[in-house]
Structure 1
Amino acid sequence: MISSLWNTGGELYSRTGPYPIQLQQGYLGEIYGMAFFERLGRDYHFQATESQAVFSLLFKVEQYTAETLLKLLPELASLDEALPEQVRMQAQKEVGSWLKLPWHELLAALRLWVEPYQQKYAKWADDAESNSEYCAAFRLLERHETAIYLYLQALEHGDKRAALILERFLEAL
């Protein structure tokens, strides 16, 4: 995604250690995801009925995760407004190359795109397990990314009940 952008200019924290920066990156990832899935939902034209439902649900998961992160870490609200806006603009721009992919290829590409984030967030959550201040936020990011990954995997395999994966995640928030 845009990690180089996330590490400049908008750091919220003066505390040492990787946790605040990682959580800022995770939060900005949710902002990116909202803009990305919003544009896919609006402009993707293959499998229009199915894809709109998929992207709407993914947008909702990104949005609710961002809102929950803000509740867990209110200091994220003090992020320089220019940084989330840059993230949104970059997502809107980058989604263009995805719009031409046929449905099955798009699902596979999205799953492959999410996979390293799912692994990274799982490692971050494990690393922060003993940190009472940040553990819940890291576990949220991990559960979020794992749910999206499993959802995309289920969609790829044609599972008609795939949406239950994300619906269960949302119910647990």
Structure 2
Amino acid sequence: MAASLENTGHELYSSAGPYLMQLQQGYLGEIYGMAFFERLGRDYHFQVTESQLTEIHLTESHLIESQAVFSLLFKVEQYTAKALLKLLPELASLNEALLEQVRMQAQKEVDSWLKLPWHELLAALCLWVEPYQQKYAKWADDAESNSEYGAAFRLLERHETAIYLYLQALERGEKRAALILERFLGAL
């Protein structure tokens, strides 16, 4: 998951060069995604009352499914962040205040997603992830010949593509959609 980091008030390391700055943005996106999916998973089911279940056509099984979905998405964000740190240990030196600000921004943004019916939430997530999937694919293609950062860019691209394909599969109602992310995690 990627974050909109323009409003964080912090600059990424300017001496890092364009590739590392992009990877720092990607890493911050993972931090954002972890906070976002953790809160969505924790609070989404609490926002839906019994009367709303029938009103918005959300079943108890959808509530259980939503927790599993958000838990798996959190896990993918977490594993990707850890894998990026292994590839680029210098990411560990990012300012903790910046990381906390990104987490808080993600937590706050969840408020606007909590009351969406399940099918609308999935559609909104697909629309939200798609431009980041495209951006990360372009970054990976642009860095293809860069031996120092190429693997990290491919990781980000595979990560975002897996999330995007997973959300599309969920939206179509595919029962085995989780296999998309499980395959990604198995490849790390």
Partner of 1:28: 28
Helix, strand or coil at the partner of 1:129: coil
- The 5 A counterparts of 1:23-102 are 23-45=23-45, 47-102=62-117
Residue matched to 1:164: 179
Match of residue 105, structure 1, among 117, 120, 140: 120
- Which residue of 2 is the match for residue 114 of structure 1? 129
1:133 is aligned to 2:148: yes
Cα gap change, 1:156 to 1:34, in 2 (>3 Å): same
Q: Distance in 2 between matches of 1:163 and 1:2?
A: 26
Quick one: structure 1 residues 153 and 111, their matched pair in 2 at CA, closer, same or farther if it must change by over 3 Å?
same
Alignment length, in residue pairs? 171
TM-score (norm 2): 0.88
Deviations 1:114-154 (A, max 9, x none): 00000000000000000000000000000000000000000
Flag structure 2 segments of 5+ consecutive residues without an equivalent.
Answer: 49-61
Measured in 1, the distance between the counterparts of 2:6 and 2:130 equals: 19
SS in 2 for 1:20: helix
Moved over 2 A (4+): 5-10
How many Å separate the matches in 2 of 1:7 and 1:39? 23
Q: TM-score with structure 1 length normalisation? A: 0.95
| 2:11 is aligned with 1:9 | yes
Task: Give distance in 2, aligned partners of 1:150 and 1:4.
Answer: 26
Does the aligned pair in 2 maintain the 1:32–1:91 contact within 8 Å?
yes
Structure of larger gyration radius: 2
TM-aligned CA deviation for residue 14 of structure 1: 1.7
State the SS of the aligned residue for 2:146: coil
Instruction: Tell me the distance in 2 between the aligned counterparts of 1:56 and 1:15.
Output: 33
CA separation in 1, counterparts of 2:104 and 2:168? 28
Q: For residue 5 of structure 1, report the CA deviation from its aligned partner.
A: 4.0
- For residues 47-76 of structure 1, give each alpha carbon's deviation from its aligned partner in whole angstroms, at most 9, with x where no partner exists: 220000000000000000000000000000
**How high is the sequence identity, in percent, across the aligned residues?**
82
